[in-house]
Structure 1
Amino acid sequence: MTSTQAIQKICILRLSAIGDVCNALAVVQQLQQALPEADITWVCGKAEAHLLALFTNINVVIYDKRDGLRGLLCLKRQLKAQQFDVLWHMQAALRASLVSYCINAKRRIGFDRSRAKDGQWLFTNEKISPANSPHVLDGFLQFLNQLNIAPQPVKWHVPLSEQDRDYAKTLLNTDTKQLLICPAASKAYKNWTIEGYVGIALYALNQGYQVSLIGSPANNEMALSEQINQACKGRLSNLCGKTSLPQLWALIDQADILISPDTGPAHMAVAVNTPVLGLYAHHNPQRTGPYQYRHYVVSVWQQEIEKEQGKPASQLSWRSRVKNPDAMQLITLDAVIDMFETIKQEQQL
């Protein structure tokens, strides 16, 4: 392998999604610590660029998938003059691999064959070693090993602006414990039930928490949050759609607990050390769960995947997905309340 001293320009290719970009960010920050003089460019999606804009030591280049071939040609022109020493191709998807053709790099590092789905291995000339853990972030850490950089314990540095922190404070009562609920994932089948969200919200209110709903301005997220708040007779603070991504990150930073299904804000919370009570049914939380808070996940994935496949989970692929569209309804309110109490008690120690 080439000495790290010869590495001056590095391109990161991870287009989406918010949660995966947060996981990759922890690894990129370790890369920056090991190679402080290296110039880092990150090719990402439009929404993810708003998140990465906080990090002024990363050159952000946007590829909007809605632009299709025209966007690819534009990206190729934009990067034509740049020659990178290393490309980290961190997304095993055909669209991302097509984007990789726009990036000139001597070393094109991608996933090992077990993770290089959609033929990603055809677009790289080096493969990382398989990870010992199924988690997405542990897979990302192998990119460091490929550059002879020893991975360190995972942590993030998120440079939230004072302006965003101040805005978050105007939305929250800082004298009260704060529970944030992010009810909607990008895919509706990952959402818990309205009755469940209402039940845990009312329980937390009775425990003295201010309870706020968060999410993007997407119509489905706004509608779900409004339904939950109406069912709680307007006792919640409905902040859904009222924050930019950096403002949302500042809001999560000031919360005591976040309750969320498998979606981006859960991973944003991990990055600022806010405990996450994750709700999982379709995907293995040991693979996609909130990295530092997987022990707080309430999951029915194992029981459901074993029921569908007729085998122990240990004998199945870590990618195995529960197909039952109603699987999230199997998460009980009692289980969520019990985990909420566990988090509370551990915070008091």
Structure 2
Amino acid sequence: MSASRPLVQGVRKIAVLRPNAVGDFVFALPALHALRHAYPEAELVYLGKAWHADFLAGRPGPVDRVVVMPPVPGVGTPPDGPADEGAVERFTARMRDEGFDILAQMYGGGSHSNPFARRLGARLTIGARADGAAPLDRWVPYVEPANRRLALLEIAALVGGTLPWLPCELELTPADRTAAAQLLPPDSGRPLVLLQPGSSDPRRCWAPERFATVGDALAAEGMLVAVNGTDGEAALVRQVAACMRHPCIELTGRLGLGGLCGLIERAALVVSNDTGPLHLALAIGTPAVGIFWHTNLVDGAPLRPGLLRAAVSAQVRCRTCGLDNRAVRCQHQPSFVDEICVDEVLRHARAHLRTRSPGGAD
């Protein structure tokens, strides 16, 4: 099917269905901007999770309003997960009453999300369609691996969405910057480097000792080093800090998502596993060194390639059972990025720091 379509007439309200995690939201930002650019007078409504509502409340950007979805099997929750059918039916009735002109399904290949999107009663449904999934009114094939930013832009193009040049995909608020400033020593004069050693997927995690070695090397070269993680990653952050010879700032539990964005904006560099804060940095315009398993780099590559220097592992077989994990994932959880060496990450980090200003993006 062709993805090049004219604008739809009479569009007053657009819904985007994408109830997932931070990195996945960042991947959708170019498509959201493209829809806003194409339909500047329409209300853009994001159907997502509670964290989307909290993070986007009052934030400048393409999204006007967030509607929090109940758990829907296969759409934001596992297909076999529990669901309150009454809550789901009330939600679908409420969305039909909204009278959406366009509903963009941007949650996967549509096995579960396309039938659900069709229940919401929009005048026109668009999205991706994997083999065997139900069709929408307009759709593009869903393929893996693929650059997710470009794949979602292809969906926006089904209704004439085009992308203006975006030096920054994610807008910050004064509250973001204030929260970040409160955690940094006053007038240190040292460029900030943020280390992000965690990830929701253990296979994407580089060893904490290696993060510590990178942090020590950059601290010795005059950088102020901070180590960030979620509350569930507190032990990991402490391990990185304990392995470092130089002092660092431990950030676990001290920043909300907005404050983290403010800190990333102030950073000269982010060094991170393939996880949400890495993709926030690329959306904000802060240079980053990303530690990737090779197929994930295809998914997560930014629209501004110069912001990302990637250290990439080509390991495909599980070291426990030997299974090739490119097509089928085994039950084991070894790191697939262990073969990346410290010298490579430091080389990328120093190259960024030589060519970028201390405040972040050019």
8 Å CA contact 2:111–2:134 kept in 1: the answer is no
2:89 alignment partner in structure 1? 73
1:314 alignment partner in structure 2? none
Q: Displaced runs of 4+ in structure 1, greater than 4 A?
A: 307-310, 319-324
Assess, with a 3 A threshold, how the Cα gap between structure 1 residues 101 and 122 changes in structure 2: closer, same or farther.
Answer: same
Q: Which residue type is aligned with residue 252 of structure 1? A: I
Q: 1:163 aligns with which of 175, 180, 183?
A: 175
Assess, with a 3 A threshold, how the Cα gap between structure 1 residues 203 and 216 changes in structure 2: closer, same or farther.
Answer: same
* 1:228 has 2:243 as partner: no
**Cα offset, 1:105, TM superposition:** 0.7
Q: 1:110 aligns with which of 123, 127, 142?
A: 127
- Give the number of the structure whose residues are more often helix, by fraction: 1
Q: 1:7 aligns with which of 11, 22, 31?
A: 11
Q: Deviations over 1:222-269 (max 9, x none)?
A: 110011112225711001221111111111111110011111111111
**Cα offset, 1:64, TM superposition:** 4.8
8 Å CA contact 1:145–1:151 kept in 2: the answer is no
8 Å CA contact 2:202–2:334 kept in 1: the answer is no
Question: What TM-score results when the alignment is normalised by the length of structure 1?
Answer: 0.84
Assess, with a 3 A threshold, how the Cα gap between structure 1 residues 190 and 162 changes in structure 2: closer, same or farther.
Answer: same
8 Å CA contact 2:193–2:224 kept in 1: the answer is yes
> Structure 2, unaligned stretches of length 5 or more?
72-76
In structure 1, C-alpha distance between the alignment counterparts of 2:286 and 2:313, rounded to whole Å:
23
**Cα offset, 1:166, TM superposition:** 1.7
Pairwise CA RMSD of aligned residues?
Answer: 3.1
DSSP 3-state at the match of 1:105: coil
Residue correspondences, number: 333
1:255 alignment partner in structure 2? 267
Q: 1:334 aligns with which of 302, 318, 343?
A: 343
1:27 alignment partner in structure 2? 31
Assess, with a 3 A threshold, how the Cα gap between structure 1 residues 336 and 3 changes in structure 2: closer, same or farther.
Answer: closer
Q: 2:213 aligns with which of 183, 192, 199?
A: 199
In structure 2, C-alpha distance between the alignment counterparts of 1:3 and 1:345, rounded to whole Å:
44
DSSP 3-state at the match of 1:128: strand
Higher RCO (CA-CA < 8 Å; seq separation 6+):
2
DSSP 3-state at the match of 2:134: helix
8 Å CA contact 1:281–1:322 kept in 2: the answer is no
In structure 2, C-alpha distance between the alignment counterparts of 1:148 and 1:333, rounded to whole Å:
45
8 Å CA contact 2:178–2:259 kept in 1: the answer is no
8 Å CA contact 1:190–1:261 kept in 2: the answer is yes
2:45 alignment partner in structure 1? 41
> Structure 1, unaligned stretches of length 5 or more?
311-318
* 1:344 has 2:348 as partner: no
% identical aligned pairs: 23
* 1:91 has 2:104 as partner: no
Assess, with a 3 A threshold, how the Cα gap between structure 1 residues 161 and 150 changes in structure 2: closer, same or farther.
Answer: closer
Q: Which residue type is aligned with residue 161 of structure 1? A: T
In structure 1, C-alpha distance between the alignment counterparts of 2:313 and 2:255, rounded to whole Å:
31
DSSP 3-state at the match of 2:295: coil
**Cα offset, 1:51, TM superposition:** 2.8
